[in-house]
Amino acid sequence: MLELAAQIGVSKRSIERNIQKLQKDKLLIRLGASFGGSWEVME
């Protein structure tokens, strides 16, 4: 997450908030286990 924050030029916390909002809006869904699973972006 730190790499993404650095590339975009925002804080790590900002990335976390955006991910949480995407999850809440059901636009980012976790598939599988916490470790070894993957993320799916919904359209």
DSSP-assigned beta bridge partners for residue 28: 41
In tens, the pLDDT along 1-43 reads 889 899 999 999 999 999 999 999 999 999 999 889 999 999 8
Cα first-last separation, the chain: 22
How many whole angstroms separate alpha carbon 28 and alpha carbon 17? 13
What's the confidence (pLDDT) of residue 23?
Answer: 96
Residue for token digits 């804080």?
11
